[in-house]
Amino acid sequence: MKTSSIIAAFAIVLAVATVAVLLNRLDKLEDRVQRTESALATLDPLRRVLAQANPPADAYQPIQATGAPNVPPETKDSSSSWCPAVEDGGNEWLLLGYPHAIAAAAVEVHANYNPGAVVSVATVADDGTENEVWSGPAQPAVARRITRLEFSRPVSARKFKLTVATGAVPGWNEIDAVALVAASGELHWATQATASSSWQASTAVR
């Protein structure tokens, strides 16, 4: 009986010691994760330098805003998004074309870096006529990566123009993708894009 009690007590002590070791390792792991996250946060300037040193031909160009989002959620600055030529400048625009006219209830803007700078959305007819369907102030405090801008009524068009107030949201304003949101909730991604400017096309220094 005494032997059984000793074994049971030893098992309890061993279990407590094991838990203590595991908790200690967990604390170290959490600390390592935090340090890794801090290190990743410092990589944004390095990514920018590397992109500048050997950028792909279409880096930061309007074409990067077509298709579904492809910038990883943890990434901020990315050459796989459209970026205007000037940081904290005036208004810039991004014109997006879709395969066919869609009765859209909203646009969904996927902005990977310094979001909240879109202040206007307009449809553009084939003859160039513009019709503003949404407007609002920049939202630097909200800073949502995905912003849905809803229209007062469904709008059918094939081309949509976004106005980006680069001076209203500090830093480079980058857009990964823009979807038209149908009344059913289905998302339609742009297949064509042009812009007022883009970084790589106009300057070699960021």
Give pLDDT tens digits for 66-106.
999 999 988 999 999 999 999 999 999 999 999 999 999 99
* CATH class in words for 59-202: mainly beta
For residues 175-182, average pLDDT: 98
Q: What distance lies between CA 66 and its chain's CA centroid?
A: 13
Q: And the tokens for 15?
A: 């279990």
Q: Which residue has the higher pLDDT, 24 or 52?
A: 24
For residues 21-41, average pLDDT: 61
The β-bridge partners of 36 are none
For residues 14-19, average pLDDT: 63
Please report which confidence band the pLDDT of residue 202 belongs to, taking 50, 70 and 90 as the band edges: very low
In whole angstroms, what is the distance from residue 195 CA to residue 103 CA?
23
Q: Which residue has the higher pLDDT, 19 or 181?
A: 181
Helix axes of 2-41 and 43-53: crossing angle, nearest 10 degrees: 50
3-state secondary structure 4-58: HHHHHHHHHHHHHHHHHHHHHHHHHHHHHHHHHHHHHHCHHHHHHHHHHHCCCCC
